């Protein structure tokens, strides 16, 4: 029996004329055809099957290695991201073993991730060891800015890639070797779509949104705001100059993710930083 459509090899469709009662066989797509193939070692294969043998069907398939079109069905149920997720779990275990936590900073380009990070490092790195994994498509500008604060940093350039994956972070951790009890910062590529899909082994995703963007970003990019545990609203010193409704933005954010922890701050003036720092200081592996 054909496993594709369930027809029987023996089934012979017929046409019966209602007046003359004459019955004749109909050639069907599934009428078995006989084939004989001789393999290089002289083995003769004879079999029946029904698919066509046009070259387009077997582009680079020698007739000697002839196969039946009704294939074997293999059920896999394999998650596409299983490899990434397995490495992310390793990273998570590695960090836990070193009593360290990792934060994955995500935002659109220009929201102020690096500025917030530089300010935070300057203010807090005397309290706790910190290292930074910087992700950008190109250049080491951001890693240079971080290193200027005295903090160990490594730059991952993803090339045409639009996000960091768990294997890149694994390599970064291997190279940086953060000391016991570290806070590892992972600054992702500026992108509000792809990084939502990829677990890096972080303790939390922190999405950064600046008041110079639209207040409806949370509902425009719901995957990212849903995947994050924390939202930081930055550049609040610019609020007098832009039409940004903070309350509406927070409403949208909580509509997408009612468990989101929200901070409002300015890395330039320092307004609101104390709440952000208090949250960071209570983070433990």
Chain contacts with other proteins (rule: CB under 8 A): 45, 47, 49, 56-57, 59, 61, 65-81, 83, 160-163, 193-194, 196-197, 219, 222-223, 226, 254-259
Query: Which residues, in sequence order, are CB contacts of 195 under 8 Å at separation 6+?
Result: 104, 106, 163, 164, 188, 189, 205, 224
Minimal distance, residue 99 CB to other proteins, in Å: 31
DSSP element (H, E) containing 232:
strand 230-234
CB of 86 to other proteins, least distance (A): 13
Round to whole Å and give the CA distance between 204 and 225.
Answer: 12
Q: Which is nearer to other proteins, 39 or 281 (CB)?
A: 39
Taking CA 123 as the corner, what is the angle to CA 276 and CA 156, rounded to the nearest 5 degrees? 85
Give 70 or 98: the residue with its C-beta nearer to other proteins.
70
Q: CB of residue 60 vs other proteins: minimum separation in angstroms? A: 8
According to the 3-state scheme, what is the secondary structure of 20-46? CCCEEECCCCCCCEEEEEECCCCCEEE
Q: Of 165, 113, 157, whose CA–CA distance to 138 is shortest?
A: 157
By beta-carbon proximity to other proteins, the closer residue of 151 and 164 is 164
Q: Which is nearer to other proteins, 23 or 36 (CB)?
A: 36
Closest CA to 99 of 204, 205, 206, 184: 184
- The residue (of 75 and 282) whose beta carbon lies closer to other proteins is 75
Report d(CA 253, CA 172) in Å as an integer: 31
Report, in angstroms and rounded to the nearest whole number, the Rg of the chain calculated over CA atoms: 30
Between 49 and 145, CB nearer to other proteins = 49
Give min distance, CB of 91 to other proteins, in A: 18
Smallest gap from residue 195 Cβ to other proteins (A): 9
In the complex, the smallest distance separating the C-beta of residue 202 from other proteins, rounded to whole angstroms, is 18
């Amino acid at each position: 029996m054909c496993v594709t459509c369930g027809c029987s090899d023996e089934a012979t469709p017929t046409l019966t004329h209602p007046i003359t009662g004459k019955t004749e066989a109909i050639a069907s797509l599934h009428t078995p055809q006989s084939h004989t193939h001789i393999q290089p070692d002289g083995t003769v294969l004879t079999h029946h099957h029904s698919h066509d043998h046009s070259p387009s069907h077997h582009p680079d398939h020698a007739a000697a290695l002839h196969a039946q079109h009704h294939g074997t069905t293999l059920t896999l149920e394999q998650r596409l991201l299983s490899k990434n997720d397995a490495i992310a779990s390793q990273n998570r275990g590695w960090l836990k073993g070193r009593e360290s936590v990792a934060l994955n900073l995500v935002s659109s380009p220009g929201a102020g991730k690096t500025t917030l990070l530089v300010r935070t490092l300057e203010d807090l790195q005397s309290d706790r060891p910190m290292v930074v994994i910087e992700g950008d498509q190109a250049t080491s500008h951001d890693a240079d800015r971080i290193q200027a604060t005295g903090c160990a940093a490594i730059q991952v350039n993803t090339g045409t890639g639009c996000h960091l994956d768990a294997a890149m972070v694994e390599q970064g951790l291997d190279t940086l070797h953060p000391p016991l009890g570290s806070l590892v910062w992972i600054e992702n590529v500026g992108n509000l779509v792809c990084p939502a899909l990829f677990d890096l082994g972080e303790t939390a995703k922190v999405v950064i949104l600046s008041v110079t963007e639209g207040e409806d970003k949370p509902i425009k990019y719901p995957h990212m705001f849903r995947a994050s545990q924390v939202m930081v609203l930055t550049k609040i010193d610019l609020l007098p100059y832009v039409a940004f409704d903070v309350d509406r933005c927070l409403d949208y954010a909580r509509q997408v993710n009612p468990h989101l922890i929200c901070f409002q701050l300015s890395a330039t003036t320092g307004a609101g930083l104390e709440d952000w720092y208090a949250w960071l200081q209570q983070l433990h592996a």
